[in-house]
Amino acid sequence: MKKIESVRNINTDRISSIIMLIIVGTFASQLIGRTFTQYGILFPKVILTILVALSIGLLIKSWVAPELREISKEENKIKIVVGIVIMIIWIWTISLLGFLTSSIIWFAVLGFYISERKNLSSFLFIISAVFCMTILFWFIFHKILLVPFPRGIFV
Amino acid sequence: MGGKNHPFSHREGKMDGNIYITALTNLLNIKILILIFLGAAGGMVAGALPGITATMSVALLIPFTFTMDPIAGLVTLGAIYCGAIYGGCFSAILINTPGTPSSIGTCFDGFPMAKQGRAEEAIAGATTASVVGGIFGTFVLLFLSPFLADQALKFGPPEYFWLGIFGLTIIASLTAKSIIKGLIGGMFGVLLSTIGIAPIGGDVRFSFGQPALQGGVSLIPALIGFFCIPEVLNMIGTAHKITQRIPLSKKRKGVFLSTAAKVLKMPVTLLRSMIIGVIVGIIPGAGGNIANLVAYNETVRASKHPEKFGTGMLEGVVSTESANNAEVEGSLVPLLTLGIPGAPPAAVLFGALMLHGLRPGPELFAVHTTFVYTFIISLFFANIMMLFIGIFGGRMMARAISATPVKLLAPFIVFLCIIGSYAIRNQMLDVVTMFGLGLAGYGLKKLGFHPGPIVLGIILGPIIEEGFVQSLLIGKAWTIPWTIFFVNPISVILIILCILSASWPFVSPKIEKIRDNLAKARRMKRSES
Amino acid sequence: MKKKILLLSLGWILVSLILAGLTFNMALGAYPERPINYIICFNPGGESDLTARLQQPLLEKVLGVSVIISYKIGGGGALGWSELVKAKPDGYTIAGDNIPHIILQPLIRKETGYKTEQLKQIYCFEFTPDVLVVKNDSPFKSLSDLLDYAKKHPGAVTLGGSGSPSANSLGVAKLNKEAGVDITYVPFTGSAPTIPALLGGHVTGLMSYSTMAIVYKKKLRPLAVASEERFPALPDVPTFKELGLNVVEGAWRGVAAPPETPDEIINILANAFDKVCRDDKFVGRMEAMGFQVVHWGPEEYTKFVQKKTEEYKKILKELGLLK
């Protein structure tokens, strides 16, 4: 059965310009209610103004001559989202569990999740490769280059 | 240019072929050669790891040089510097992450080449270009230093401002198809660079209440995030389609030699890029990171097929890598002649010299002439070592990366990204920044934003701002303050370059048309006659 | 084949666990018995970095453990100091600190992440007074030449310096007040960029540190030093005070620990730094680079910080910079 890959066209110009205007607004909100020296705030104000002008220009363009981009369904979006979640948890637990431990755990989890074949030998292969790679690099960075990694419950 | 106070004039005035021979004999001893080799190799590995910059590589290895005598120590550090700048190309080509900011431009064409199975060709090209660039730079350092250093002093705050603006015009070439998005990206990058302490006034800007943001957005996490994370996410998303991300190039013998030959057949590109690299290196405030981008930009503009860049043009890789390695020696020009470092790694070398009790500057030449010449000539050796290490190491690395299945490669890259962004300032915040910007970069890519302009903005923002505000301060007492931006001849030259560079995407299709019409007219005339 | 993989994996896991276990540290025994982390809050190659690297081998000898230099750069040092006050007060994390930075920043900025008092001072080892320099071939041969010109052309004389606000900027502010002139201070990020700016003629002079005046001795003409007495390495240069202007300003560098660090540990570290900073070779090298070596222990340094805090509060109020 042939898979029909649906293609959606989205108006990236409109979305980008709106997002950028929101970003400018967030930054600009940091300017109210604080005192700044004359020269300290001159440049950021100029940049914010230019950004607003460009964003409005892009917004206008999104009606006049929009650039439509395809978002294809070729990518496995679920895998990407779960992957991002795993990475977030990985970074978050670095200070909890310690750098090396959290890296080993989540590196292996991510690897196993991505892997197509989920059986025991694949799992063992991943685990041993993970151990080799993480310990090697941890050793180079921590013991030779003396970078102080965060410690948690474990190393 | 000559004369008694000339750093290169030796007391008795006799022409010293001797000095070169003495320097060479100093270098041709096994211990020094091994140190150069280890330095170059170590530098390459450090440079290839995203997050470890050339500056850090040199700084981290200074303590090891304490136990050596000054010349051995300095020669080693010089080799590390050369190697680190070269090493950045590996991760740029293989995983689309510049190993050092000097290799940002190498990603643009290097990574597409790798995706097409031409990773070895890209690495071979980068190696050849780097070595040629380094050797060219060393010649410049050896013979042209004093003259060039004096010219570099003519750059004041207004000139730095225009230099920064010129850097921003590169955006026009990178994003010819959607300039407005490129400009927005660039300005967004500049905005990000303003987070933190204002250079004038010391205000804390946009810290959103977080003390850790006083330090601003560090460049390296931004680089790693914008270039690397989107690729990793792509890998994860398409893992079900292909098992290998970087296709194994067909086993052809002699990839290296044939690529090296191709590179040497691009003398104009090489020369132009290397000259740009040296110039950027010499100018103290320019930093060195932008050498590869300016060179890339000029190569694109001068090419007959500018639209092909970004799809895997060897010429792109050649221009960036020759420029950044020429910049290494360029940054040493003001260091050795005036005692002013031309780029942050050179500043670390400055510190190393001081620690060994040697004060860089004109005195160094007069008092320690042999030392200086030995150091400069050692750079030739370092570059040649890079060639050999690159021939073998490069192939190994390319094969290793191709052979790694995505399920291991993707998390491994994430692991490297985390380590790399942490190692800069030992801050978890940088890791979070890296990842946050990475996700943002992924989204931005989907929306049609190229990461290059954003990163350019982050790099150039401080240069532009400082130049701008310092010029205003200096010009405060002038009759018409803002004329300070237009007075110096160098400013004028830079302004003209900016206009040329910025208008290029609009002007060049017209020039193409004119060229085509002329060619057509010529052909018609020939067929008529 | 499967069995081989299994055995190999188990073997690797075992080896790795052993390696990892060996690095578990049990903090027993006398201090110090682990490597000490010496944080530098400024760029490598800078003055703080050079000082630390000169101290490092001597410290390692005296304390008997390795001393690891790491960098936490950003916010003019604020990033490093805000991390320091959050670090464990077990004596294994110390950071170089600088006056006036640690005093000015919390007074002027809202969210520095640390307070001056939180830094537990261990030792102060160097002083670099402000020095007003011009180019060697400048028409200004003395301070009075420069001040006369400044009086006639308000705003035209520009003095470059490092940082804003900083010892350099305050030096110029004090000079303006004392001499009744209007000299424009042009800040640069660090002392290094000021030199090409001066040599290229983009600024009239610099209000920089003594280290710059010494390192670039052949190209610069120092006009005055902002210390109480003449600077030993610049014996022919008058002080501002001698010339009738009460301008005393400069940077002091020392080392500090997190707030709750026990006094015994502070004393051990202070004694170690004292021994290092009295070493002849160390003093010789530092003075050759333009530093004036100082020997202040924890109490003296802390008192000095308090004194300077009051002084800067007054000055900043006068200049209208206090938040």
- Verify that A81 and A68 share a domain, yes or no: no
pLDDT of residue A4: 45
Residues A140 and A82 in one domain: yes
| Highest mean predicted confidence (pLDDT) among B222-226, B418-422, C205-209 | C205-209
The better pLDDT of the pair B2, A70 is held by A70
Q: Is the pLDDT of residue B87 over 70?
A: yes
| Chain A residues inside the 8 Å CB shell of C323 | 35
Q: What separation in angstroms does the CA of B423 have from each of A140, B351, B417, B488? A: 12, 21, 10, 42
Domain-terminating residue out of A15, A45, A72: A72
Q: Is the pLDDT of residue B138 over 50?
A: yes
Average pLDDT over residues B460-467: 91
Q: What is the mean pLDDT of chain B?
A: 85
pLDDT surpassing 70 at residue C19: no
Write the pLDDT tens digit of every residue in A5-40: 445 677 778 888 888 999 999 998 888 877 787 888
Average pLDDT estimate for C192-212: 91
Interchain proximity C37–A148, CB inside 8 Å: yes
Query: What pLDDT score was predicted for residue B11?
Result: 38
Q: Yes or no: say if B443 and B178 are a contact pair by the CB < 8 Å rule.
A: no
Nearest CB partner across the interface for A131, out of C12, C23, C24: C12
Q: Is the pLDDT of residue B1 over 60?
A: no
Q: Which chain A residue's Cα is nearest to C187? A: A39
Check if the interface score ipTM surpasses 0.90: no
- In this predicted structure, the answer to whether residue B261 has a pLDDT above a threshold of 90 is no
Q: Can you tell me the distance from the alpha carbon of A99 to that of C149, in angstroms, rounded to the nearest whole number? A: 61
Q: What is the pLDDT of residues A81-123, one digit of tens each?
A: 988 999 999 999 988 888 888 888 899 888 888 887 778 888 8
A81 with A67, same domain: the answer is no
From chain C, the residues in CB contact with A155 under 8 A are 20, 23-24
Residue B190 has its nearest CB partner, among A47, A79, A150, at A47
Fold of C128-225: D-Maltodextrin-Binding Protein; domain 2 (3.40.190)
Q: Which residues contact C136 (CB under 8 A, 6 or more apart)?
A: C218, C219, C220, C221
Q: Are residues A59 and A86 in the same domain?
A: no
- In CATH, the number for domain C36-126+250-319 is 3.40.190.150
C27: confidence class by pLDDT, cuts 50, 70, 90? very low
Which of C41, C42, C48, C53 is the mutation pick for testing B, counting most B CBs within 10 A? Answer: C53
> Mind listing the pLDDT tens digit for each residue in B321-378?
999 999 999 999 988 888 888 888 888 888 888 877 787 877 777 778 888 888 999 9
Average pLDDT over every residue of B439-451: 88
Residue C53 has pLDDT above 50, yes or no: yes
| pLDDT number for residue C202 | 92
- Give the residue among B169, B156, B164, B173 at the shortest CA–CA distance from B499: B169
Which residues of chain B does A75 touch, with a Cβ-Cβ cutoff of 8 Å? 234, 237-238
The alpha carbon of residue B426 is apart from the nearest alpha carbon of chain A, in Å, by 7
Report how far apart, in Å, the C-alpha atoms of B205 and of each of A31, B199, B221, B240, C267 are.
8, 11, 20, 45, 39
Which pTM does this prediction carry?
A: 0.85
Higher-confidence position of B66 and A49? A49
A68 and A100 share a domain? no
Residue type, B292: N
Instruction: Tell me how close the Cα of C318 comes to any Cα of chain B, in angstroms.
Output: 16
Per-residue pLDDT band at C146 (split at 50, 70, 90):
very high
Mean pLDDT in residue range C201-216: 91
Provide, as residue numbers in chain C, all residues whose Cβ is less than 8 Å from the Cβ of A127: 9, 13
- Residue C1 predicted with pLDDT over 70: no
Within-domain flag for A150: no
Q: Residues B232, B413: contact at Cβ < 8 Å?
A: yes
Ramachandran assignment for B468, one of left (phi > 0), alpha (psi -120 to 50 degrees), beta (any other): alpha
Asked if C225 contacts C212 with a C-beta cutoff of 8 angstroms, the reply is no
Query: Domain range for residue A55?
Result: 7-72
Query: Quick one: A15 and A62 in the same domain?
Result: yes
The whole-chain average pLDDT of chain C stands at: 87
Number of structural domains chain A divides into:
2
Q: Which of A48, A72, A96 is the last residue of a domain?
A: A72
The two domains C36-126+250-319 and C128-225 share their CATH topology (first three levels equal): yes
**Banded pLDDT at B3 (limits 50, 70, 90):** very low
Each domain of chain C, given as residue ranges in start order, spans 36-126+250-319, 128-225
pLDDT of residue B89: 94
Chain A interface test: which of B240, B414, B425 (most A C-beta within 10 Å) = B414
* Over residues A52-69, mean pLDDT: 84
What is the predicted pLDDT for the residue at B250? 58
* Residues A40 and A81 both lie in one domain: no
Do residues A81 and A140 share a domain?
Answer: yes
Residues of A in contact with C110 (CB under 8 A): 34
Residue B8 has what pLDDT?
Answer: 43
C-beta of residue C293 within 8 angstroms of C-beta of residue C253:
no
The nearest CA of chain C is from the CA of B342 a distance in Å of 10
pLDDT at B249: 59
pLDDT for C29: 61
Q: Residues of A with CB below 8 A from C19's CB? A: 135, 139
Please answer yes or no on whether C19 and A125 come within 8 Å at the CB atom: no
Q: Could you report the per-residue pLDDT of B21-47, keeping only the tens digit for each?
A: 888 887 788 888 999 999 999 899 889
Same structural domain, A99 and A61: no
- Looking at residue C266, what is its pLDDT? 93
Tell me, yes or no, whether A2 lies in a domain.
no
Whether A107 sits inside 8 A of B406 (CB atoms) is no
Looking at the complex, does the CB of residue A42 fall below 8 Å from at least one CB of chain B? yes
Q: Is residue A86 part of a domain?
A: yes
CB atoms B446 and A111 under 8 Å: no
Closest partner CB to B415 (pick from A107, A126, A147): A107
A35 assigned to some structural domain: yes
Q: B240: which DSSP letter?
A: T
B-chain residue closest to A61, CA distance:
B180
Q: What percentage of residues in chain B have a pLDDT greater than 90?
A: 30
What residues 391-450 of chain B have any CB closer than 8 A to a CB of chain A? 405-408, 410-412, 414-416, 418-419, 422-423, 426, 428, 431-432, 435, 439, 444, 446-449
Residue of B nearest to A82 (CA): B236
Mean pLDDT along residues C174-192: 89
Lowest mean pLDDT among B18-27, B185-194, C133-142, C260-269: B18-27
Write down which residue in A72, A104, A122 finishes a domain.
A72
pLDDT value of residue A71: 67
Length of chain C in terms of residues written: 323
- The pLDDT value recorded for residue A73 is 63
